[in-house]
Amino acid sequence: MEPLFSPDIHVFYEHTPIPLAIYYVDETGRFRAYLVSEGACSMYEATREEMMSRLNGPDPFVNMPEKEEMLKAVKAFSEKDEDYNVVYHEAVGKDKKLLTIHCVGKHEFTRDGRRYSIVRYDEISDSSRRFLFREEEKEIKEHQKLLYEIDDAIARSYTSVLYVDTSDRKVSAVRLNRYGKTLEDELSRDPYLKNVIDVYVNAFVYRDDAEGVRRFGDFDYVMERLRETNPVFHTYRTIRDGKIVYYRLKIIPFDNGRKIVYGFEHYDAQIREKLARESERETQMTLLAGLSCEYESIWLVDAAIHHAKLIRNNTKPSAAADEMYRLKEGSYDTIVGNYIDHYVVPEDRERVYLMTSIDSLMRTTKDDEIYHVNYFRVDPEGSRNYIQLCFARVTDDMGVVRFVCGFRNIDSLMEEEKTRNSLNTTAHIDHMTNVNNRRTFDEHMDGRAAKDIEADLTFFSFDLNRLKEANDSHGHEAGDELIIGAAKCIKDVLGPYGDIYRTGGDEFSALVVIPSEKRAEIVSELRDRFDRWKGKLHPSLSVSMGYVCASEKEGMTVEDMRREAEQRMNAQKSDYYMKEGNDRRRKGKHN
């Protein structure tokens, strides 16, 4: 299902020590758990996965003696909006320890109107259990004890907690952190809301935020805020040991409105993470604004509702431009679909449809990257241009995703790229064989020297046999034909798996990643290609080959692999000449 909360709120509920769970009603009408807090996992002595599995399983009440009563209560709560306030027994943990649990539920709504339910669990102590199921006249007293236990659970969730009695506005400190304790004496002299907040603000709150926090000492203002939204949150800065630290104040009514809880929460990490994200987005948007003069048009797309709006158009007036940007706002799918149908060349359309769909963009883009789609466009005036469509993804604090899209003509950039590629090819490609040259090989070896290597990396070393004899008997053109033929055989077989290099006159190397189960098949295909080769100037091709896989020896470096592959190749070459009756040790090296 869609996330119910912003990431900050989601993290708050999931990691709170208060035992609670959030539920929703799925499309089948089943009451299902959405998340379980750390406090609930601790109380039930179970992992979150175990809790979710049981709550969403076929029988979530399997360990409850009051199973039928619980089923009725849940159905009434989820289907009829009746109050959910039950006490039950449940066997928990591996030892099946029987607990008495008080459970209270309430319905809430997200900003877009989706309903969810917060259910809070509280374990009733042994002493409370002895009274809870006795005579009815003791129920009121037991309810008070239960409230005290709930008080304690709330207090443990915050660095400091104050309770305000709504009848006289007197404040009692349920919990104070080490900073708050320094004010205890001063607060006890005048323990009423306005003075308590004034003392706190004067002692700790950063001066620029003081007025905002001081307003929560006004009881009428607080009650008005609670009528508008419950709970009330307010984030502010404090001074702790000479440093600015972010805190959050949470205010909630409690005990049927007889109390108001002020919970002070250390919120520094969450706020600083949020500020960092906002800074990154601001930088990205500033960059886009600076670059926008380079783009023909800039669009803003709301991913959730597939809505697009033209926010800048830099094209010169023309019939083609007027037609292209006639629709300035509306359905993203309609606008981009019409654009592709009318202006993208037919052979590019299917690819551009796929890459620019909202689903594809949601999968492939990140907040800190620019995503590019290049294609050919032909406008109604017959002009053909190479176009780049850029997407920058921006996610706000509520999790809403938007895309900033820019169109620009990159004909000149492509020409520059072709020139750079041509120069790079000249420097790095062996022109006789059209594989990488020795310079490229050395650069790649240096680049891999300090890196971990893949387990399936294989190093091949090749050397042609009897090349000198071919040159002497058939001419250097025949020798060149053998070199070109060997390179083609190697490239055809190994090219899909990595890089091929000509490292000497008749020497080649390959650095390839081949799955272990395919290695024998690939080696066999290489040998078969060499055996089947036929030239116009020379009838056959003979190549000595050695190879080594990184997984053969733990800790092997790429340089270790090169040496071992060359040794194996040389051993095969010696065997070849021995079988041919040509002992290379006595007669010298014969290529």
pLDDT (tens digit per residue) in 284-300: 555 555 555 567 788 88
Q: Half-sphere exposure (CA, 13 Å, Cβ side) for 278?
A: 8
Q: Is the peptide bond before 231 cis (omega within 30 degrees of 0)?
A: yes
What pLDDT score does 185 carry? 84
Q: What are phi and psi of 353, to 5 degrees?
A: -55, -50
What pLDDT score does 127 carry? 53
Burial code (b: 16+ CB inside 10 Å, e: under 16) for 213-245 equals bbebbeeeebeebbeeeeebbebbbbeeeeeeb
Instruction: Please check whether residue 547 is in contact with residue 523, taking contact to mean a CB–CB distance below 8 angstroms.
Output: yes
Please work out, in degrees rounded to the nearest 5, the angle formed at the alpha carbon of residue 79 by the alpha carbons of 74 and 84: 40
Distance between CA atoms of residues 419 and 479, nearest Å = 33
* Torsion, Cα of 147, 149, 152, 157 (10° steps): -90
Distance between CA atoms of residues 216 and 249, nearest Å = 10
Pairing of strands 401-409, 429-430: unpaired
Instruction: Please check whether residue 506 is in contact with residue 483, taking contact to mean a CB–CB distance below 8 angstroms.
Output: yes
Task: Read off the pLDDT of residues 497-540 as tens digits, 9 standing for 90 and up.
Answer: 999 999 998 999 999 999 989 999 999 999 999 999 998 988 89
Q: How many helical (H) and strand (E) elements, i.e. helices and strands, does the chain have?
A: 22, 22
Q: What residues are paired with 329 via a beta bridge?
A: 309
What pLDDT score does 136 carry? 39
**34 closest CA partner among 17, 45, 20:** 20
* Torsion, Cα of 127, 132, 138, 144 (10° steps): 70
Q: Taking the mean position of all CA atoms in its chain, how far away is CA 179?
A: 38
Distance between CA atoms of residues 462 and 541, nearest Å = 12
What pLDDT score does 140 carry? 45
Please name the residue that has the structure tokens 């033929």. Answer: 485
Which residues have CB under 8 Å from 421's CB, separation 6+? none
Give the orientation angle of helix 411-428 with respect to helix 438-448, to 10 degrees: 100
DSSP state of 315: P
Which residues have CB under 8 Å from 485's CB, separation 6+? 533, 535, 541
Q: What are phi and psi of 294, to 5 degrees?
A: -80, -15
Q: Where are the beta strands (DSSP E) in 153-289?
A: 160-165, 171-175, 232-240, 243-254, 259-266
DSSP state of 83: -
What pLDDT score does 377 carry? 84
Using DSSP's 3-state secondary structure scheme, residue 231 falls into coil
**DSSP line for 396-419:** -TT--EEEEEEEEE-HHHHHHHHH
Please name the residue that has the structure tokens 């390959």. Answer: 510
**Domains of the chain, with CATH numbers?**
7-128 (3.30.450.20), 158-266 (3.30.450), 277-409 (3.30.450.20), 427-587 (3.30.70.270)
What pLDDT score does 590 carry? 47
What pLDDT score does 62 carry? 86
Q: What residues are paired with 457 via a beta bridge?
A: 513
Please work out, in degrees rounded to the nearest 5, the angle formed at the alpha carbon of residue 528 by the alpha carbons of 527 and 529: 90
* Torsion, Cα of 325, 329, 334, 339 (10° steps): 20
Distance between CA atoms of residues 454 and 452, nearest Å = 7
| Sign of the torsion angle spanned by Cα atoms 326, 328, 333, 334 | negative
What pLDDT score does 181 carry? 83
As a whole number of Å, the end-to-end CA separation of the chain is 69
| Sign of the torsion angle spanned by Cα atoms 50, 53, 54, 56 | positive
Instruction: Please check whether residue 174 is in contact with residue 155, taking contact to mean a CB–CB distance below 8 angstroms.
Output: yes
Give the sheet arrangement for strand 370-378, strand by strand: 329-331, 307-313, 297-302, 401-409, 384-395, 370-378
pLDDT under 70: residue ranges of the chain: 1-6, 8-9, 125-157, 276-294, 318-324, 380-381, 397, 412-427, 582-591
Instruction: Please check whether residue 88 is in contact with residue 104, taking contact to mean a CB–CB distance below 8 angstroms.
Output: no
Tokens at residue 199, please? 């003392």
